[in-house]
């Protein structure tokens, strides 16, 4: 029996287009002004959280403002799941979410299932995304159903989630050991966990760790050629 449902975010509970067309462009618009406020090379300053993150990028990239900008932009343009980039993005997106500029459109079946599972005594919902834990919490704090207008009042779904995992606290999403670690952290055997993701490599890693897993197919996702597991197109197909 499945006791823990672990959800990927992009391409699973929300469209990839929200990340590519809303979140990434918002981040890139804020980036020049953010980098302009510092002298280079970046020196240590524990009192400044942004500078502290920027200094985690490779030292040769932080030598000048332009080399740092080019490096970060290249990571974003290539959708590199770099943990320092993800930490920085979480910090920048916070402004957009809190100001009301950004609201995350979630698939209606995903919202419904999260409510249903989290209110059952025998189920818990977790998140595992390449986005930082801070970015995950923000995204779930400002949610609208994908079928509602952008002006719809936001819902906060964080109370439905029992824990958040990213590449920093669990490890890379395409490695089986990350899923074993998550199971251990939530005091569960992998056999009692179900992982849902759009990425077949992530699904293969979860299966290797002994979890149940399905590939989630949503409009706009990359076509899945060789599938390591069955595909679902809505969470309504799951009988848990
Ligand atoms: C949750 S933060 C925004 C999405 C993001 O940056 C990302 O890399 C999502 O990757 P996922 O593992 O959820 O497919
Ligand atoms: Mg995904």
**Digit-coded pLDDT (tens) for 87-96:** 999 999 999 9
Please tell me what DSSP assigns to residue 13.
T
Q: What is the pLDDT of residues 215-233, one digit of tens each?
A: 999 999 999 988 899 999 9
3-state secondary structure 137-151: HHHHHCEEECCCCCC
Pocket test for ligand 1, best of 19, 110, 142, 174 (most atoms within 8 A of CB): 19
CB atoms within 10 A of CB 146: 19
- pLDDT at position 118: 97
Pocket flag, ligand 1, residue 190 (CB < 6 Å): no
Q: What is the pLDDT of residues 153-206, one digit of tens each?
A: 999 999 999 999 999 999 999 999 999 999 999 999 999 999 999 999 999 999
Does 29 have pLDDT greater than 90? Answer: yes
Mean of the per-residue pLDDT values of the chain:
97
Structure tokens at 103: 């609201």
Does 111 have pLDDT greater than 90? Answer: yes
Does 104 have pLDDT greater than 90? Answer: yes
Q: From the DSSP assignment, how many helices (H) and strands (E) are in the chain?
A: 9, 8
CB proximity list for 223: less than 8 A, separation 6 or greater: none
Beta bridge mates, 127:
7, 164
- pLDDT at position 178: 98
Pocket flag, ligand 1, residue 202 (CB < 6 Å): no
The Cα 125–Cα 194 span in angstroms is 10
- pLDDT at position 225: 87
∠ Cα 46 93 34 (to 5°): 55
The Cα 128–Cα 187 span in angstroms is 16
- pLDDT at position 75: 98
The answer to whether the beta carbons of residues 218 and 15 sit under 8 Å apart is yes
Closest residue CA from atom 3 of ligand 1: 131
- The CB-based long-range contact list for 46-52 (8 Å cut-off, 24+ gap) reads 49/91, 50/88, 50/91
Nearest ligand 1 atom to the CA of 8 is: 13
Q: What is the pLDDT of residues 136-163, one digit of tens each?
A: 999 999 999 999 998 899 999 999 999 9
The Cα 11–Cα 63 span in angstroms is 36
Mean pLDDT score, 3-9: 98
Greatest CA separation for the chain = 56
- pLDDT at position 150: 86
- The CB-based long-range contact list for 211-215 (8 Å cut-off, 24+ gap) reads 211/6, 211/179, 211/183, 212/2, 214/238
Percent of the chain past pLDDT 70, that is, above it, reads: 100
pTM: 0.95
- pLDDT at position 226: 86
Of all ligands present, the nearest one to the C-alpha of 130 is 1
* Among the listed residues 189, 126, 112, the one whose alpha carbon sits nearest the alpha carbon of residue 155: 112
Please tell me what DSSP assigns to residue 195.
E
- pLDDT at position 114: 98
Structure tokens at 183: 């199971």
């Amino acid at each position: 029996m499945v006791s823990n449902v672990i959800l990927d975010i992009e391409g699973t509970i929300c469209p990839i287009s929200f990340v590519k067309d809303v979140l990434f462009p918002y981040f890139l618009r804020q980036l020049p002004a953010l980098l302009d406020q510092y002298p280079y090379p970046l020196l240590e300053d524990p009192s400044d959280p942004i500078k502290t993150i920027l200094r985690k990028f490779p030292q040769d990239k932080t030598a000048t403002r332009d080399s740092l900008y080019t490096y970060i932009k290249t990571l974003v343009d290539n959708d590199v799941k770099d943990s320092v980039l993800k930490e920085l993005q979480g910090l920048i997106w916070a402004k957009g979410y809190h100001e009301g500029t950004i609201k995350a459109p979630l698939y209606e079946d995903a919202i419904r299932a999260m409510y249903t599972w989290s209110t059952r005594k025998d189920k818990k919902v977790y998140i595992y995304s390449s986005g930082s834990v801070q970015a995950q919490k923000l995204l779930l704090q400002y949610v609208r159903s994908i079928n509602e207008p952008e002006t719809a009042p936001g819902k906060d779904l964080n109370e439905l989630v029992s824990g958040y995992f990213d590449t920093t606290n669990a490890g890379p999403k395409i490695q089986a050991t990350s899923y074993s670690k998550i199971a251990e952290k939530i005091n569960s055997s992998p056999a009692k966990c179900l992982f849902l993701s759009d990425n077949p490599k992530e699904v293969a890693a979860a299966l290797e760790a002994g979890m149940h897993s399905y590939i989630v197919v949503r409009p706009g996702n990359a076509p899945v050629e060789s599938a390591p597991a069955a595909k679902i197109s809505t969470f309504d197909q799951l009988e848990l």
